[in-house]
Amino acid sequence: MKKLVLIDGNSIAYRAFFALPLLSNEKGDYTNAVYGFTTMLLKVLEEEKPTHLLVAFDAGKSTFRHKTYAAYKGTRQKTPSELSGQIPMIHKLLDAFSIKRYEAKEYEADDIIGTQAVEAAKKGYEVVVITGDKDLLQLVDDRIEVVLTRKGITEVDRYNEAKIEERYGLTPKQIIDLKGLMGDTSDNIPGVPGVGEKTAIKLLTQFSDVETVLASINEVSGKKLKERLEENKELAILSKQLATIMTEVPLETALNDLAYNGFDYQAVKELFKAYAFNSLLNRIGEDEDQQEEALEEVAFEIVSEIKEDHLISPSALVIEMLGDNYHHADIIGVGLANKNGNYFIPTKVAVESTLFQTFMADEKKEKYLFDAKRAVVALAWQDIELNGVAFDLQMASYLLDPSLSSHEMSDIASRKGSVRVLEDETVYGKGAKQGIPAEQQLAEHLSRKAYAMHVLKEILANELKENEQYSLFAELEMPLSVILGRMEKEGIKVDRGQLQTMGGDLSTRLADLEKEIHKEAGETFNINSPKQLGQVLFETLELPPVKKTKTGYSTSADVLEKLAGSHPIIEHILLYRQLGKLYSTYIEGLLKVANEETGKVHTRFNQALTQTGRLSSTDPNLQNIPIRLEEGRKIRKAFVPSHDDWLMVSADYSQIELRVLAHISGDERMKEAFLKNMDIHTKTAMDVFHVEEDEVTDQMRRSAKAVNFGIVYGISDYGLSQNLNITRKEAKEFIDRYLASYPDVKAYMENVVKEAKKTGYVQTLLARRRYLPELASSNFNQRSFAERTAMNTPIQGTAADIIKQAMVIMSEELANSSLKATMLLQVHDELIFEVAPEDEQALKELVTNVMENALSLDVPLQVDVLSGSSWYDAK
């Protein structure tokens, strides 16, 4: 017998929250509702032994009931933030248990439960509904039971038809009529004033339902009651309507999807540890036997010759390689899964097959991959084109929740409860011991990954749609990944000779400085060792320590700057550090990774890493090439066009984050600055210090700039005080003055935090999300950090959205033009190109146009474009 258990998520969480004291884990997150919910869940799993399981949540916001009656739930108190922060944690918990959860816009959890219950009952399931809400009693019939929490969460009452009859003297359907007459204060359903439970039951026993009662008012006993019914006919009908659970919600999940097949032991254990539910660890049993349990069988075939039948659309593909630098890594095998079967194709068989190559290049043959860019670039190095990537699992996982530390297949598989997949580390080992396993094992692993991809693709695609993130995924990030892949493969030329010359110069200067410093210290020591340097400065030379780190004295630049003047050695150390950084990170670092033959460096952009939606760049990191100090800026002279006579072009957004802030906050004064194209820092100084433009001093502008900087990066009053070298109190006052000058910015900041506490996440203009469970933390630092993040992420993230959008459009425009120009790099608010001299002007016009119009805001976007014979000269 199939048995479906439906849990009213919000209701149970709410009960648990109020039934238990405010527990929290060591991080300071409140966990009492999560804990209570978990104990209830474990109890349900043990006692009910469901074959199918669903937890329904309210989607928040407004439902179809609000359309009928605006005041619906109007008296309900706002969910306490200590509870709302726990809802995402409960979501995570359910994911770890591989239990389906669902929420639908416009509908309440009740309606989702009602719909599923009725459908399942019709199909012969035994159905149990678990809730704290008596409303749901109306669903009871011979196949549906409702379990109501009575006190706390462990004491419950189980209602079938007989029990309802016994308790109310009514049939389950009459529960709706009961509500219609007596109303419900907690949902602000009015009912008939003056009619309570007793009267309502009496009326219903006599007349069966609201309609009959109203049609037979004459027969009702009691003059006052008659009057009340007469006056409130419409209210009674409306109340009944509101109390009726909708059983025809258009659900996107089929009953089959709700099958519960047990949970992933590791995932649950990890989560229990994170939530500090040590006492519950025992309740989920010993891990040994379960963990050792064999993976479910996935049949596969090792392909020795590729045939047409292997290559159908859609197919899931795994292009496996060891080591993370896909510019150099060898492909060790190919996994393939589609309707016809699961396959392992040895690399040689794949890359040498024309059939395979044609299939890979065919735009119309849909492919699902995990980290598509990795495959695209690796194959490009083998001169194999990969087109038609229809789904990137890693990208989907990242967009759904960027905070998950790992977007590895095995983790996604265990989180989403599909076919289990081994961790790559388990199969290949790591570090020095990493290697390729026996073919059979490799074949099994890759086929399994490919097979799992189909299942996971469906799940994640649905989640993206539920979150309204599908277009972000399909129209922005997916196309961008291909573009980034091309940029990485193309690479950027560095002039190795120039680097070597600069390096030679630096190393002599470093050697001289080293001698000088040793002389001043009176001993030789390793200047690069903070430990040794600390001893020399604060013990041998007895300079006053300014700051400590966990391990000893701090010798950071801002500490040394405070000591400057007290000893000549300080200045030399600062210079040594500066030059040393240039030499080892940039000169040697770049020379190490530049291709011997072409002189090009090929970075890798990580598109699925940052919490804000920015890219990051590694191996080498080309997003932190020096510019601030002239000495370092010279490094940019080594970045040159890859063709003779071509030019480097740099196009950067001016103040994009502050423009985004002006747009989303709608602050008129701030918008004015951009509409009138004023210097934003001067304008800020004018507004904050209440002075005219010509009265703004350098110091005022500097302070204003620091605050703007702080707003953009979400720093704290502490951070600002460090930047401006003022006290924390002064910094706080300064921020307050700033916010007073820009009231709508202040309102936005408050609002975004409030909203995030409610929903558990913040989002950007293009629906990129970031969950912030720490908003409910009792730990001040944690909570403050989350609050600043809530304010800052939509700003920085939207800026990231905009430049990504610009890149996608730019790439199309370039492809459709005959311009001899290549997009090479993205540095957060800047795009770097190389261009043939005859197309320089055209490119500049095009890129300005594309970037400024990538997304339309209430303030103009401004782009500065510059060109020159090297990146340095594009200034």
Is there a cis peptide before residue 314, judged by omega within 30 degrees of 0? Answer: yes
Site for DNA in 761-800 (CB under 7 A): 785, 788-789, 792
- Long-range interactions of 117-126: CB distance < 8 A, separation 24+: 117/4, 117/6, 117/144, 117/247, 118/144, 118/247, 119/255, 120/2, 120/4, 120/52, 120/255, 123/255, 124/2, 125/1, 125/2, 125/3, 125/4, 125/52, 125/255, 126/1, 126/2, 126/3, 126/4
C-alpha distances (whole Å) from 478 to each of 316, 661, 828 are 16, 27, 18
Pick from 76, 158, 581, 729 the residue near DNA by CB under 7 A. 581
Pick from 208, 241, 623, 642 the residue near DNA by CB under 7 A. 623
DSSP-derived letter for residue 297 is P
Q: Does 620 bind DNA (CB under 7 A)?
A: yes
Interacting stretch for DNA, rule CB under 7 A, among 329-337, 529-537, 685-693, 730-738?
529-537
Compare residues 364 and 433 and give the one whose CB is closer to DNA.
433
Q: Please report how close the Cβ of residue 570 comes to DNA at its closest, in angstroms.
A: 11
**Contact criterion met (CB below 8 Å) for 489 and 545:** no
Q: Does 584 bind DNA (CB under 7 A)?
A: yes
Q: Does 592 bind DNA (CB under 7 A)?
A: yes
Compare residues 183 and 613 and give the one whose CB is closer to DNA.
613
Which alpha helices (DSSP H) does 391-495 contain, by range? 393-400, 409-416, 424-428, 439-466, 470-471, 478-490
Return all residues near 650 (Cβ < 8 A) that are at least 6 apart. Answer: 830, 831, 832, 833, 865, 866, 867, 871, 874, 875
Site for DNA in 813-852 (CB under 7 A): 827-830
Pick from 418, 555, 607, 665 the residue near DNA by CB under 7 A. 555
Compare residues 595 and 606 and give the one whose CB is closer to DNA.
606
Interacting stretch for DNA, rule CB under 7 A, among 247-255, 528-536, 664-672, 858-866?
528-536
- Strand blocks (E) in 504-642: 548-549, 552-553, 600-601, 604-606, 616-618, 639-640
x/- map, 413-452, DNA, by CB under 7 A: -----------------xxxx-------------------
Compare residues 144 and 537 and give the one whose CB is closer to DNA.
537
Q: Please report how close the Cβ of residue 546 comes to DNA at its closest, in angstroms.
A: 11
Residue 359's SS3 state is helix
Cα dihedral: 630, 633, 637, 642 (round 10): -160
Q: Please report how close the Cβ of residue 541 comes to DNA at its closest, in angstroms.
A: 16
Query: The tokens of 70 are what?
Result: 């605006």
Q: Does 556 bind DNA (CB under 7 A)?
A: yes
**Contact criterion met (CB below 8 Å) for 13 and 63:** no
Pick from 557, 564, 691, 866 the residue near DNA by CB under 7 A. 557
Q: Please report how close the Cβ of residue 26 comes to DNA at its closest, in angstroms.
A: 16
Query: The tokens of 413 are what?
Result: 């598989």
Exposed e or buried b per residue across 105-118, where buried means at least 16 C-beta atoms within 10 angstroms of its C-beta = ebbbbbbbbbbbbb
Compare residues 594 and 859 and give the one whose CB is closer to DNA.
594
Pick from 316, 715, 767, 831 the residue near DNA by CB under 7 A. 715
In terms of Cα–Cα distance, which of 641, 671, 650 is closest to 659? 671
x/- map, 144-183, DNA, by CB under 7 A: ----------------------------------------
**CA 811, chain centre distance (Å):** 26
Compare residues 347 and 584 and give the one whose CB is closer to DNA.
584
Interacting stretch for DNA, rule CB under 7 A, among 258-266, 553-561, 685-693, 729-737?
553-561
Pick from 216, 406, 524, 528 the residue near DNA by CB under 7 A. 528
- Long-range interactions of 607-610: CB distance < 8 A, separation 24+: 607/373, 607/395, 607/398, 607/477, 607/480, 607/481, 607/484, 608/371, 608/394, 608/395, 608/397, 608/398, 608/402, 608/407, 609/398, 609/402, 610/402
Residue 641's SS3 state is coil
Site for DNA in 19-48 (CB under 7 A): none
Q: ∠ at Cα 448 (447, 451), nearest 5°? A: 85
What number of chain residues touch DNA (CB under 7 A)? 62
Interacting stretch for DNA, rule CB under 7 A, among 225-233, 467-475, 521-529, 747-755?
521-529
**Contact criterion met (CB below 8 Å) for 547 and 554:** yes
**How many Cβ atoms from other residues are within 10 Å of residue 797's Cβ?**
26
Q: Does 624 bind DNA (CB under 7 A)?
A: yes
Compare residues 11 and 612 and give the one whose CB is closer to DNA.
612
Q: Does 617 bind DNA (CB under 7 A)?
A: yes
Q: Does 549 bind DNA (CB under 7 A)?
A: yes
Region of 828 please: left (phi>0), alpha (psi -120 to 50) or beta: left
Pick from 32, 418, 716, 764 the residue near DNA by CB under 7 A. 716
Q: Please report how close the Cβ of residue 503 comes to DNA at its closest, in angstroms.
A: 12
| Alpha carbons 709 and 657: distance in angstroms, whole number | 10
Q: Does 610 bind DNA (CB under 7 A)?
A: yes
Interacting stretch for DNA, rule CB under 7 A, among 15-23, 227-235, 378-386, 622-630?
622-630
Pick from 632, 837, 860, 868 the residue near DNA by CB under 7 A. 632
Query: The tokens of 693 are what?
Result: 């433009």
| Alpha carbons 206 and 553: distance in angstroms, whole number | 85
Compare residues 156 and 593 and give the one whose CB is closer to DNA.
593
780-816 and 698-713 helices cross at what angle (nearest 10)? 90
| Alpha carbons 392 and 369: distance in angstroms, whole number | 5
Q: Does 718 bind DNA (CB under 7 A)?
A: yes
Compare residues 100 and 788 and give the one whose CB is closer to DNA.
788
Q: Does 410 bind DNA (CB under 7 A)?
A: no
**Contact criterion met (CB below 8 Å) for 482 and 396:** no
Q: Does 541 bind DNA (CB under 7 A)?
A: no
Return all residues near 596 (Cβ < 8 A) that are at least 6 apart. Answer: none
698-713 and 717-724 helices cross at what angle (nearest 10)? 140
Is there a cis peptide before residue 620, judged by omega within 30 degrees of 0? Answer: yes
Q: Please report how close the Cβ of residue 709 comes to DNA at its closest, in angstroms.
A: 8
Interacting stretch for DNA, rule CB under 7 A, among 449-457, 585-593, 696-704, 849-857?
585-593
Q: Please report how close the Cβ of residue 467 comes to DNA at its closest, in angstroms.
A: 20
Q: Does 616 bind DNA (CB under 7 A)?
A: yes
Q: Does 585 bind DNA (CB under 7 A)?
A: yes
Interacting stretch for DNA, rule CB under 7 A, among 175-183, 261-269, 546-554, 667-675?
546-554
**Contact criterion met (CB below 8 Å) for 768 and 472:** yes
Q: Does 532 bind DNA (CB under 7 A)?
A: yes
Compare residues 147 and 587 and give the one whose CB is closer to DNA.
587
x/- map, 270-309, DNA, by CB under 7 A: ----------------------------------------
Compare residues 615 and 814 and give the one whose CB is closer to DNA.
615
Residue 475's SS3 state is helix
Residue 61's SS3 state is strand
Compare residues 313 and 610 and give the one whose CB is closer to DNA.
610
Q: Does 551 bind DNA (CB under 7 A)?
A: yes
| Alpha carbons 544 and 243: distance in angstroms, whole number | 73
Interacting stretch for DNA, rule CB under 7 A, among 182-190, 332-340, 625-633, 846-854?
625-633
Q: Please report how close the Cβ of residue 517 comes to DNA at its closest, in angstroms.
A: 14
Query: The tokens of 495 are what?
Result: 């002039």
Contacts to DNA by CB under 7 A:
430-433, 526, 528-532, 549-551, 554-558, 560, 574, 577-578, 581, 584-585, 588-589, 592, 606, 609-612, 616-621, 623-629, 632-633, 713-716, 718-719, 785, 788-789, 792, 827-830
